[in-house]
Amino acid sequence: MKKLIPVLLAAAFPASALLAQQAAPVPAPTSTEVEEDVVGTLDNDAKIAIPAFATPSDVPTQTSAGSTSTLGFSVANVIFADLKNNGLFKPTGPSSLPRPALGQVQAPDYGGWRGRGADMLIQGYVRAEPGGNITVGCYLYDVALGEQRAKAGWTVAPGEWRRAAHKCADMVYSQLSGENPFFDSRIAYIAETGPKNRRLKRLAIMDSDGQNHRYLTTGQTTALTPRYAPDYKSILYLSYFNGQPRIYIYDLATDRQRLLVESKNPLFAPRWSPDGRWILYSMAIGGNTDIYKMPSGGGAPVKLTDAPGIDIGGSFSPDGRRIVFESDRSGSQQVYVMNADGTGQKRISFFGGRAATPEWSPRGDQIAFTHIAGNFRIAVMDPAGGNLRYLTDSWQDEAPTWAPNGRVIQFFRTARNSGKTAVWQVDLTGRNERKLETPVDGSDPAWGPLRP
């Protein structure tokens, strides 16, 4: 895997120019209380201008985006799309803005940008390195104050140029929201095609913005419920290869896959621990499904649940000490929490209806799940089962997955009658909801962590 190399931006410009511009201190997130925080800092309507990135000289590159000049436009456009689709900001993209000269990248025309009504300005440059790599410099300016807020740069392989743009968007997002970054991440999901009764379901992966899309399986065998390994080296998923549902581990470096567990029994619902050392899976024996835990490097599985009925799924708390899971031992699907060794099982969902597919936030403060009471809605609660909040309201939304920063959730929405599915995204305010553009229908999104 190609590494993304941070660079000192001094290389691009005279050292004196750089020294003259110390980055302004990052303002701390303003609110103290979680509930306030969700609604408060995420509702940022900053008008951000993102003109095309400049280049020292317009030369061809090995990227899909063409020369450094067109690449400079494309990088700005990726940043624009990240920030716009996030719904928190009011960015203006490179299509409707003049491109600054290289010299202006570090000496913005504040007056001109004020005249355009910009609060914030993202400028940068793109430079081709002798070996073919690309260096991207990224600068964030507060136009009103007339000062630099942040800067960073990365040298990337030509095929990875989008990552540099996502890194820049992440830097801006973190600066302006006070939250951790999340754009530089990937998603595994199930690509669906065909009529409702003969639907092809293929394992597929893509960047967090839907680009760099790739199918991993052909669809001849139904694939379901993928989970990216925390190190992005492999994917756990369910396949009906040989006609029976079993869990496979797909190695992304070699494109080979193997059975996770040899068993005569059906296996469902694979999950990783946040540190990648453990795998959870659910196995049905004689119709009774229980949750098991095994070391990801191989070793004896341990049975964690023992209730008659269906215990399934499971999601570790970020510290790896607890697991939230789903059980129908009470008569209907409800959400339970247990210690990572299976002790202390306790129901936490008491909302009426059914509660399913719990996923622990990477921040630890919330559990996302599917609440079923008539419609299927994505909701969050705290780990004690309090403070239920609905994020979506549609006929059938299910299977939430968290962004690496625990501030955004993806899920899939099924259309009534047609059975068509789509991957959707919503933030914790519930206000910024949008459908992801995928080549075909999509379900079971599984968001990986911030890329290493």
- Which residues are at the interface with another protein (CB under 8 A)? 195-197, 199, 201, 213-222, 224-225, 238, 240-245, 254-259, 266, 268-269, 282, 284, 286-289, 310, 312-313, 326, 328, 332-333, 356-357, 370, 372, 376, 395-396, 398-399, 414, 416-417, 419, 443-444
Going by the DSSP 8-state scheme, the letter that residue 54 receives in this structure is B
In the complex with another protein, the residue whose CB is nearer, 115 or 194, is: 194
- Quick one: which of 165, 161, 149 has its CA closest to 81? 165
In the complex with another protein, the residue whose CB is nearer, 230 or 266, is: 266
Going by the DSSP 8-state scheme, the letter that residue 32 receives in this structure is -
Extended strands (E) in 131-255: 134-142, 147-156, 186-193, 200-207, 214-215, 223-228, 234-239, 246-251
In the complex with another protein, the residue whose CB is nearer, 130 or 198, is: 198
In the complex with another protein, the residue whose CB is nearer, 96 or 242, is: 242
In the complex with another protein, the residue whose CB is nearer, 89 or 250, is: 250
Q: Using CA atoms, how far apart are residues 309 and 100, in angstroms rounded to an integer?
A: 64
Phi first, then psi: what are they for 70, rounded to 5°?
A: -70, -35
* Residue 246 Cβ vs another protein, minimum distance, rounded to whole Å: 11
* Residue 344 Cβ vs another protein, minimum distance, rounded to whole Å: 23
* Residue 292 Cβ vs another protein, minimum distance, rounded to whole Å: 13
SS3 310: strand
| Sign of the dihedral through C-alpha 81, 391, 404, 282 | negative
In the complex with another protein, the residue whose CB is nearer, 89 or 268, is: 268
Q: Using CA atoms, how far apart are residues 74 and 85, in angstroms rounded to an integer?
A: 16
Q: Are strands 441-447 and 186-193 parallel, antiparallel or unpaired?
A: antiparallel
Q: Which residue has the tokens 């009426």?
A: 352
In the complex with another protein, the residue whose CB is nearer, 131 or 264, is: 264
In the complex with another protein, the residue whose CB is nearer, 243 or 299, is: 243
In the complex with another protein, the residue whose CB is nearer, 38 or 399, is: 399
* Residue 205 Cβ vs another protein, minimum distance, rounded to whole Å: 11
* Residue 105 Cβ vs another protein, minimum distance, rounded to whole Å: 32
* Residue 417 Cβ vs another protein, minimum distance, rounded to whole Å: 5
* Residue 127 Cβ vs another protein, minimum distance, rounded to whole Å: 25
Neighbouring residues of 349: CB distance < 8 A, sequence distance ≥ 6: 334, 335, 355, 369, 381, 385
What is the length of the chain? 452
* Residue 203 Cβ vs another protein, minimum distance, rounded to whole Å: 10
DSSP states along 380-407: EE-TTS---EE---SSBEEEEEE-TTSS
* Residue 151 Cβ vs another protein, minimum distance, rounded to whole Å: 34
Show the CA angle centred on residue 441, arms to residues 313 and 223, nearest 5°.
Answer: 45
- Beta bridge mates, 76: none
